[in-house]
């Protein structure tokens, strides 16, 4: 009998505890999940966190769980979450992966909502077009960018060079002059130019920049999927010249490339506006010499959309509404301006930076102007298979440029590989 009473008491206690737990969950309100690879990046993460704090202040009872996911596995993790029916509430993704989600029908159309802020979107970056799929707009571009040339003014002055090159031929000459063995031990201490020479997307970035000089209106392939053989041959030949001159350190990936530039061990590199973070992290004796200039490819700039925000199609309508409110806040003049002042990146919305700020930040002027001048890095008809296309270009470029294989043979193989892409 006593045991029976004790059992009933335990049950009652459990029921009360459960009731409190449920109550407590309700009191917490709505939690929106927002994973991002930028959650720990200095500058950018500060801006995201400030934006999230503002959103939470404007929407009491709503909190955003801003979590870090490594970039290397970001797409795989997100695809798995979407496929498993557990998408995040606010979806931040690299623009290059947009098609995967669009094709699966995982993103909610934003056209009706965007119509409500048509005046804002009128000032939005032209690369916003990457968010369109089958006549619908499925995302909003966070960052549109153009590449710049990072150059080390101190190294240029030491070599008696006036300023950064403006064509690829000049780049090759200047890079050779800047490559020196400063200590005289037979080992090169500073290279003139640095780009990744191992399997890495940065190989495609570099090759495309050279290619754009040869054919400002063209790309790797035309709409029929035929290779732009002449322009590619020009790009690979120029890159080969840099390597043959010994002006480029071999065996580096993109991180090592940046490290070489920041440490003053390479005098020039191509990079997006996020180069500012690298410059800021340089040692005190190197930082003042690190400058940015337009890329030396006759005025054609490599660029496009970097990352975008979207609303998942398979979440509850009230969560979709909140996710949209977050995006709407992100597009506001105040937070677009802060994208430049806090994150140090060019805002997607034009006209939000005042003249005084731009006058005091010459590099930001450059990032904004290059972003506006940039030509999209994705060739026509390749958006749906861009990752595979890029990997094929990286492999072919390494074979032709670094391994010195016959360019025609490599082009023939690349054409075959592109032909069998699905």
Residues lying near other proteins in the complex (CB under 8 A) are found at 75-76, 79, 83, 85, 100, 103-104, 197-200, 249-252, 256, 385, 387-388, 391, 394-396, 398-399, 402-403, 413, 416-417, 420, 422
Residue with Cβ nearer other proteins (199 or 280):
199
Angle (deg, nearest 10), helices 201-214 and 254-262: 70
**φ, ψ at 271 (rounded to 5°):** -160, 160
- Taking the complex as a whole, the smallest distance from the CB of residue 250 to other proteins amounts, in Å, to 4
Q: Considering the complex, what minimum distance in angstroms separates the CB of residue 100 from other proteins?
A: 6
Q: What's the closest the beta carbon of residue 186 comes to other proteins, in angstroms?
A: 9
CB 353 within 8 A of CB 366: no
Q: How far is the CB of 256 from other proteins (least distance, A)?
A: 8
Looking at beta carbons only, is 127 or 252 nearer to other proteins? 252
**CB of 106 or CB of 297, closer to other proteins:** 106
Q: How far is the CB of 270 from other proteins (least distance, A)?
A: 19
Q: Minimum distance from CB of 78 to other proteins (Å)?
A: 11
In the complex with other proteins, which residue's Cβ is closer, 291 or 307?
A: 307
Q: State the greatest distance between any 2 C-alpha atoms of the chain, in Å, as a whole number.
A: 99
Closer to other proteins at the Cβ: 60 or 186?
186
CA–CA dist 255, 306 (Å, integer): 18
Compute the least distance from the CB of residue 240 to other proteins, in Å: 13
In whole angstroms, how close is the CB of 124 to other proteins at the nearest point? 29
* CB of 246 vs other proteins, minimal distance in Å: 9
The smaller minimum CB distance to other proteins, of residues 87 and 144, is found at 87
State the SS3 of the chain: CHHHHHHHHHHHHHHHHHHHHHHHHHHHCEEEEEEECCCCCCCHHHHHHHHHHHHHHHCCCEEEEEEECCHHHHHHHHHHHHHCCCCCCCEEEEHHHHHHHHHCCCECCCHHHHHCCHHHHHCECHHHHHHEECCEECCEEEEEEECEEEEEHHHHHHCCCCCCCCCHHHHHHHHHHHCECCCCCCCCCEECCECCCCCCHHHHHHHHHHHHHHCCCCCCECCCCCECHHHHHHHHHHHHHHHHCCCCCCCCCHHHHHHHHHCCCECEEEECCCHHHHHHCCCCCCHHHEEEEECCCCCCEEEEEEEEEECECCCCHHHHHHHHHHHHHHCCHHHHHHHHHCCCCCCCECCCCCHHHHHHCHHHHHHHHHHHHEEECCCCCCHHHHHHHHHHHHHHHHHHHHCCCCHHHHHHHHHHHHHCCC
Shortest distance (Å) from residue 367 CB to other proteins: 29
Residue 60 or 85 having the CB closest to other proteins:
85
Would you say 205 and 149 are in contact if contact means Cβ atoms under 8 Å apart?
no
Choose between 236 and 326: whose C-beta lies nearer to other proteins: 236
Closest contact distance (angstroms) between CB of 365 and other proteins is: 34
Nearer to other proteins by C-beta: 85 or 160?
A: 85
Which residue, 93 or 293, has its beta carbon nearer to other proteins? 93
Q: Are 222 and 214 in contact (CB under 8 A)?
A: no
Which is nearer to other proteins, 26 or 420 (by Cβ)?
420
Measured in degrees and rounded to the nearest 5, phi and psi for residue 170 equal -65, -40
């Amino acid at each position: 009998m006593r045991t029976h009473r004790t059992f009933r008491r335990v049950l009652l206690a459990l029921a009360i505890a459960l009731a409190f737990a449920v109550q407590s969950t309700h009191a917490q309100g709505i939690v929106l999940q927002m994973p991002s690879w930028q959650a720990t990046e200095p500058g950018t993460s500060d801006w995201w966190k400030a934006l999230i704090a503002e959103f939470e202040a404007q929407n009491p009872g709503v909190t955003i769980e801003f979590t870090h996911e490594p970039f290397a596995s970001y797409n795989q993790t997100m695809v798995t979450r979407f496929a498993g029916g557990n998408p995040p509430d606010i979806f931040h993704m690299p623009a290059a992966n947009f098609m995967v989600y669009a094709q699966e029908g995982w993103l909610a159309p934003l056209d009706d909502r965007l119509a409500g802020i048509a005046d804002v979107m009128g000032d939005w970056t032209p690369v916003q077009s990457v968010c369109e799929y089958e006549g619908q707009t499925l995302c909003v571009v966070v960052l549109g960018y153009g590449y710049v040339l990072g150059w080390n003014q101190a190294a240029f002055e030491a070599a008696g060079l006036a300023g950064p090159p403006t064509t690829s031929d000049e780049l090759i000459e200047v890079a050779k002059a800047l490559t020196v063995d400063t200590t005289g031990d037979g080992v090169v201490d500073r290279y003139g130019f640095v780009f990744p020479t191992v399997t890495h997307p940065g190989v495609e970035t570099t090759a495309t920049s050279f290619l754009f000089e040869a054919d400002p209106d063209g790309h790797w392939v035309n709409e029929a999927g035929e290779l732009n053989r002449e322009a590619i041959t020009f790009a690979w030949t120029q890159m080969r010249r840099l390597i043959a001159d010994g002006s480029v350190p071999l065996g580096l990936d993109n991180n090592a490339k940046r490290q070489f530039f920041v440490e003053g061990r390479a005098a020039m590199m191509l990079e997006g506006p996020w180069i500012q973070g690298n410059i800021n992290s340089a040692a005190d004796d190197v930082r003042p010499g690190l400058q940015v200039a337009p890329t030396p490819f006759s005025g054609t700039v490599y660029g496009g959309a970097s990352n975008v925000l979207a609303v998942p199609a398979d979440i509850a309508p009230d969560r979709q509404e909140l996710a949209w409110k977050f995006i709407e806040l992100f597009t506001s003049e105040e937070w677009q301006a802060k994208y430049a002042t806090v994150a140090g990146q060019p805002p997607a919305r034009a006209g939000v930076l005042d003249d005084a700020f731009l006058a005091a930040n010459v590099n930001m002027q450059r990032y904004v102007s290059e972003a506006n001048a940039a030509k999209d890095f994705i060739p026509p008809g390749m958006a749906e298979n861009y990752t595979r296309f890029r990997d094929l270009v990286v492999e072919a470029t390494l074979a032709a440029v670094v391994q010195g294989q016959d360019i025609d043979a490599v082009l023939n193989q690349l054409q075959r590989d592109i032909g069998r892409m699905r």
